[in-house]
Amino acid sequence: MHSINHSDNPVTVGRFAPSPTGPLHVGSLVAALASYVMAKREGGLWRLRIEDLDTPRVIAGMADDILRTLETLGFMWDGEVLYQSRRTELYQQALDGLLRDGFAYACGCSRAEIARAASAPHPGDEGPGYPGTCRNGLTEGKPARALRVRTAPGTISFHDGVMGPCSRNLADSGGDFVVKRADGPFAYQLAVVVDDADSGVNQIVRGSDLLTSTPRQIHLQRLLGYTTPSYYHLPLVTGPGGAKLSKRDNAVSLASGRDLEKEGHGLLLDALSFLGQKPPGQLLGAGCADIIAWSVASFDPEAIPRQNGQFPSPDMEG
């Protein structure tokens, strides 16, 4: 295990990590633009990672479509594109270390057994809270179903660059969490922590739907000896009335039939406005590259709103 994310590293390294389970959509565009601009405004690097570990949900051709879409919109990433499905050896090395140090253990409990446990902590974000049944070893004759990481009493606190102070007691909010299914893929929480550390990522800009995952990731970073990045969690794009956004109806994709050569500049301007920025009128006729260049020079992180909203905002044209 190793990390090049040293605290004395002056270079800002950001990243965008879409899942190829569907085309890029307007919520993804907001995250891509914000993460790109936040890294580049500090003269930093912007990495691109395809999070394709959940193979049953991956749609063939979507990763390539996402890359072509980003290129067409004027985004340029640094270094090679990483694919999580090709990095399982790194995740296994990290997991082996957690097991060796006693930070992780085998669990034989089924979902139904966990749900029935009266002493379970409060529900977590990934289902019923885990009561710690297998913490001291598997019941005799019971096969391992998953590998879990031990949580500890106490609060994990961090300052989010958009949402402000955040804290969470992992032991009371879901308990020990899964990092690998016995016969399945590595869990998102472990993979993303290993990938960010291995790529030197020290600035994470992403949607606020992942805000509650952050304390678990910080816990893993500490156990693995990684440096914790700075975090910025963005407001989510919602449908009318605050409903969850339909990816199908809000695709920003070449494969979905959108002409990004014509529409791209308008989508970028709408994304900037959603992020609380005020692009000048002369950018209305500009190309994507010029809009991104203005964004890098003029983006104000303090203006990013905390509340979710529609895209484009109802008070905006288009």
Catalytically annotated residues:
247
Contacts of 175 (CB under 8 A, 6+ apart): 120, 121, 124, 129, 130, 131, 132, 151
Check whether 316 has a pLDDT greater than 70: no
Percent of the chain exceeding pLDDT 70 equals 91
**What confidence tier does 11 reach under pLDDT thresholds 50, 70, 90?**
very high
**Arithmetic mean of pLDDT, 235-247:** 79
For the chain, list the domains and their CATH numbers: 13-87+191-303 (3.40.50.620), 89-188 (3.90.800.10)
Whether the Cβ atoms of residue 268 and residue 292 lie closer than 8 Å to each other: yes
DSSP element (H, E) containing 157: strand 156-160
Least Cα distance to 19 among 53, 46, 70 occurs for: 53
Burial label, 80 (beta-carbon count in 10 A; 0-12, 13-18, 19+):
exposed
Strand order in the sheet with 156-160: 164-168, 156-160, 230-234, 203-207
Whether the Cβ atoms of residue 123 and residue 159 lie closer than 8 Å to each other: no
**Arithmetic mean of pLDDT, 230-247:** 84
Dist. CA 163–CA 232, nearest whole Å: 7
Average pLDDT, the chain: 89
Q: Tell me the pLDDT tens digit for each residue of 21-36.
A: 988 999 999 999 999 9
**What confidence tier does 155 reach under pLDDT thresholds 50, 70, 90?**
very high
Task: Assess whether the previous peptide bond of 131 is cis (omega < 30° from 0).
Answer: no
Phi first, then psi, for residue 128 (nearest 5°) are -60, 145
Check whether 106 has a pLDDT greater than 70: yes
**What confidence tier does 7 reach under pLDDT thresholds 50, 70, 90?**
very low
**What confidence tier does 4 reach under pLDDT thresholds 50, 70, 90?**
very low
Q: Tell me the pLDDT tens digit for each residue of 39-58.
A: 999 999 999 999 999 888 89
Neighbour tally for 251: CB within 10 Å: 20
**What confidence tier does 247 reach under pLDDT thresholds 50, 70, 90?**
low
